[in-house]
Structure 1
Amino acid sequence: MSRSKWKGPYINVENINELNNIKKHHQNILKASRSSEIIPSFLGATFYVHNGKNFIEVNVTSDMIGHKFGEFSFTRSKFAFKKKSKK
């Protein structure tokens, strides 16, 4: 279920405040919540998004605008069967 349009996108206010401070000091690393939506002012910035175990680095590009940060930090690893060695 999507968020209603009259509310607008959910954006963590801390991210916007930190982004303004970081642009002054020329740094690009922030922590972002998975539920925050990516807005155009985040372009070119690097965010760390928690996937439940560790933080994954996400570089924001123009294709990501309108999506949420959680879509780019996968919570499940790919599964592969282990091959048995012959004795």
Structure 2
Amino acid sequence: MARSLKKGPFCDDHLMKKIEAQAGTSNKKVIQTWSRRSTIFPSFIGLTIGVYNGKVHVPVYVTEDMVGHKLGEFAPTRTFHGHGKDKKATTGDTAASTSTTSAATASAAPAAPAAAPAAK
């Protein structure tokens, strides 16, 4: 459910203080934050913010397209390791299956090309 328009966007006060302090200097250090719930404002553009994902701070370089989104959207918290493998295929003898497939391809390779249709 979206946030009410009369409330306006949310950003943690401690993060805004860090952003404002960095805006006054030419030094562009990574700002570390645990506030994944904060909305990205236009004043964040061009800064690098280290967003905590539960393990490490993921550096997020803020661009114009990110304004209005939450910081947590750009620091995934879960690592995808792929779907489960087919247990039936892995339990069989792989050496026997590879030898039969290589023999099948070897016998199919010298086949003659298809004849072209005759012209009338």
How far apart, in 1, do the equivalents of 2:67 and 2:2 lie?
Answer: 16
Cross-structure match for 2:69: 67
Whichever of the two has the greater Rg, that structure is 2
Aligned residue runs from structure 1 range 45-84, under 5 A: 45-80=47-82
What's the offset of the Cα at 1:14?
1.3
Q: Deviations over 1:47-87 (max 9, x none)?
A: 011111111110000010000001000011121368x8x79
How many pairs are equivalent? 85
Structure 2 residue 9 is matched with structure 1 residue 23: no
Q: Which runs of 4+ in 1 moved over 4 A?
A: none
* Structure 1 alignment gaps of length 5 or more: none
- Distance in 1, matches of 2:29 and 2:64, equals 16
Q: What is the TM-score when the length of structure 1 is the normalising length?
A: 0.84
1:9-66 CA-partner distances (Å, limit 9, x unpaired): 0111112211121233323321231100000000000101111111111000001000
Whichever structure has more strand as a proportion of its residues is: 1
2:12 counterpart residue number: 12
Paired letter, 1:57: P
**What is the aligned-residue RMSD (CA, Å)?**
1.9
Q: C-alpha displacement at 1:8, in angstroms?
A: 0.4
Aligned to 2:41: 39
The two structures have a TM-score, normalised by structure 2, of: 0.63
